[in-house]
């Protein structure tokens, strides 16, 4: 149980986080990235092979695409991010292996100061195997991390987003993999203010494009090498 000192520390951290986020989000919306960007952080750029989907009001939703392939005792992750046009700003993106909830990768926006992520890290219960700073408008980090436990059969992507002045965490994808040893890939729309009529869930098995389906929740299934997509957590047929 958390003692009184721990409660006060958490409360102070949350209060400081809200105050900092309010200040920083005003700078970001005003386009003052030169004052808030962490220029000395690692930054890698890549092209996104699929454009973000257009919403009914003509704005662009964010696109997150993840590919993974095992190489011996390592898992190579290629993550591509394209921030949408909406006011919701993507602050941090986290990739986990499930069900162990092993924190594989954290991608931090270089449009926000390091102190924000220090506070988020202090409030978090996990430490990522790899951390990358990137421009969330268009980012393509590729990293190698220790391979997850063989009992893990899923990948979860969460985002910390700024909607106005308050940060919130949302699940973008929680994908069950039929065969975690197989090369996999999927893309989702995320960090949008509203999700009406489901979101497109697209998948790949290695170099093979499995197409897209519309699913009402982020909890879905990708079966490789069969190249089958299913909404919800399902049992994959035998190859």
Each domain of the chain, given as residue ranges in start order, spans 4-174
Q: What was the pLDDT predicted at 166? A: 76
Half-sphere exposure of 237 (CA within 13 A, CB side): 6
Q: Please write the tens of the pLDDT for every residue from 93-144.
A: 999 999 999 999 999 999 888 888 888 787 777 889 999 999 888 889 999 9
pLDDT of residue 61: 61
Tokens of 9: 């520390």
Q: What's the distance, Cα to Cα, between the start and end of the chain in Å? A: 48
CA–CA dist 202, 43 (Å, integer): 26
Higher model confidence: residue 30 or residue 225? 225
pLDDT attached to residue 59: 42
Q: Look at 8-12, 147-151, 201-205, 219-223 and tell me which has the smallest mean pLDDT.
A: 8-12
Confidence at 162, pLDDT banded by 50, 70, 90: confident
Q: Which pLDDT tens digit goes with each residue over 31-41?
A: 333 332 222 22
The pTM (predicted TM-score) of the whole model is: 0.74
Residue 194 pLDDT more than 80?
no
Residue 52 pLDDT level (bands cut at 50, 70, 90): very low
Statement: residue 50 has pLDDT above 70: no
Separation of CA 175 from chain center? 12
**DSSP output for 145-202:** EEPPPTT--EEEEEEEEEETTEEEEEEEEEEEES-TTS-EEEEEEES-S---S-EEEE
Q: What does the block give as tokens for 92?
A: 């941090």
pLDDT band at 90 (very low <50, low <70, confident <90, very high): confident
CA distance 82 to 64: 7
Round the average pLDDT of the chain to a whole number and report it: 76
């Amino acid at each position: 149980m958390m003692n009184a000192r721990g409660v006060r520390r958490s409360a102070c951290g949350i209060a400081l986080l809200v105050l900092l986020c309010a200040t920083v989000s005003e700078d970001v919306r005003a386009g003052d990235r030169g004052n808030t960007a962490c220029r000395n952080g690692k930054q890698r750029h890549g092209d996104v092979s699929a454009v973000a989907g257009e919403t009914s009001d003509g704005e662009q939703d964010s696109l997150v695409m993840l590919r993974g392939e095992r190489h011996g005792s390592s898992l190579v992750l290629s993550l591509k991010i394209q921030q949408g046009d909406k006011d919701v700003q993507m602050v941090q993106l986290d990739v986990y292996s499930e069900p162990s909830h092993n924190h594989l990768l954290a991608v931090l926006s270089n449009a926000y100061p390091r102190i924000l992520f220090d506070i988020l890290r202090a409030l978090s219960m996990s430490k990522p195997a790899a951390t990358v700073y990137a421009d969330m408008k268009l980012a393509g980090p590729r990293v190698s991390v220790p391979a997850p436990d063989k009992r893990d059969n899923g990948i979860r992507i969460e985002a910390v987003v700024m909607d106005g002045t308050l940060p919130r965490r949302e699940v973008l994808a929680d994908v069950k993999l039929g065969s975690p040893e197989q090369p996999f890939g999927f893309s989702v729309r995320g960090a949008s203010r509203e999700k009406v009529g489901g979101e497109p869930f697209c998948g790949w098995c290695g170099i093979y494009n499995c197409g897209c389906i519309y699913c009402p929740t982020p909890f879905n299934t990708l079966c490789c090498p069969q190249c089958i997509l299913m909404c919800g957590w399902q049992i994959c047929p035998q190859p």
